[in-house]
Amino acid sequence: MLWQLPLGTWLTWKIVRGLCTVDELKLLVSNCTGGRPKMGCAKGKKRWAGFQGFKSCWKPPSGKQKNSQLISLFKSKGLSVLDMVALSGGHTIGFSHCMEFMPGIYSYNKTFDIDPTMNQDYALSLRGPCPRKNLDPTVVALNDVTTAFIFDNAYGGNLQKGLGLLSTDQMLGVDSLTRPYVNIMARDQQIFFNYFVKAMIKMSNIGVKTGSNGEIRSDCGSFNG
Ligand code: HEM
């Protein structure tokens, strides 16, 4: 895996990839330094038996989607544009593989090789570890280039400066439907935390099963039996 330090300094490391279970997410968040949103967990809820953790309970959309598609997807799940922006703030931690953000830094469209809304130095710095040819599929970059291990609102500030790693993140700071929310959350961390917690609770109620369709798990991230 590759570790990205601000704007182009890189160290390589091998790690096992994948933050896939609720417990790992909790562990990561609790290991982060600095402030973090305090979130109550609705216990004893019946979950779909196939729930295997955060990513598989509701597969995150691909990083290549357009903002309008994302908004529709979130709406179809009962989540608002505000929820979408707040939840995307989850990218204040974690990593993304090169393949996920390369569409923004190579052959972006017919006119621009690099997404013109991105900070161009940042985009170029990502090309080093993620070459078009002979790409190492295990290489990853930090989702939050400013404060990678702190659950904070620096991600919002990044989007204001064109430092969004995934195109879906970068677009949030550009599109007039989402930018106002990015600005609010970038300005005030507590507001970001409040919106994030509300949206996470809303999301955790999607697809909750009742009766014999589900099971109440003793361990959030795995089947009982
Ligand atoms: C807006 C919709 C979302 C999109 C399009 C999206 C997309 C992605 C993509 C493409 C990756 C990189 C995966 C990889 O390379 O392995 C990623 C990673 C991640 N996402 Fe999202 N995501 C979304 C929502 C969320 C939400 C709601 C959260 C949490 C609240 C979240 C938390 C994370 C974390 C923590 C990682 C890092 C995983 C790791 O380090 O292995 N994402 N996301």
Count up the domains in the chain and report the number: 1
Strand runs labelled E in the chain: 2-5, 9-12, 46-48, 95-97, 140-142, 214-216
Inside any domain, residue 183: yes
**pLDDT band, residue 63 (cuts 50/70/90):** low
Inside any domain, residue 222: no
**pLDDT band, residue 61 (cuts 50/70/90):** low
Ligand 1 atom at shortest distance from the alpha carbon of 17: 41
Residue of 216, 206, 203, 211 whose CA lies nearest to 47: 216
Average pLDDT, stretch 161-189? 97
Q: Is the pLDDT of residue 18 over 60?
A: no
Inside any domain, residue 154: yes
Inside any domain, residue 77: yes
Instruction: Give the residue, 97 or 7, on which the prediction is more confident.
Output: 97
Instruction: Give the residue, 21 or 210, on which the prediction is more confident.
Output: 210
Chain segment 136-168, per-residue pLDDT in tens? 999 999 999 999 999 999 999 999 999 999 999
Pocket lined around ligand 1, Cβ cut-off 6 Å: 17-19, 60-61, 63, 70, 84, 87-88, 90-91, 93-97, 100, 143, 166, 168
Per the annotation, where are the binding residues for substrate?
61
Inside any domain, residue 128: yes
Per the annotation, where are the binding residues for heme b?
91
At what angle are helices 98-105 and 120-127 packed, to 10 degrees?
130
Average pLDDT, stretch 29-48? 44
Inside any domain, residue 224: no
Q: How far is the C-alpha of 16 from the C-alpha of 1, rounded, in Å?
A: 8
pTM given for the model: 0.79
Per the annotation, where are the binding residues?
61, 91-92, 144, 147, 152
Average pLDDT, stretch 195-214? 86
**pLDDT band, residue 200 (cuts 50/70/90):** very high
**pLDDT band, residue 4 (cuts 50/70/90):** very low
Distance from residue 166's CA to the centre of ligand 1 (Å): 9
Distance from residue 104's CA to the centre of ligand 1 (Å): 16
**For position 161, which CATH number holds?**
1.10.420.10
| 16 half-sphere exposure, CB direction, 13 A CA radius | 3
Say what the pLDDT of residue 216 is.
76
Inside any domain, residue 220: no
Q: Is the pLDDT of residue 127 over 60?
A: yes
Distance from residue 91's CA to the centre of ligand 1 (Å): 6
Inside any domain, residue 40: no
Domain around 104: 2-35+45-213
**pLDDT band, residue 118 (cuts 50/70/90):** very high
Q: How far is the C-alpha of 104 from the C-alpha of 107, rounded, in Å?
A: 8
Q: Is the pLDDT of residue 93 over 70?
A: yes
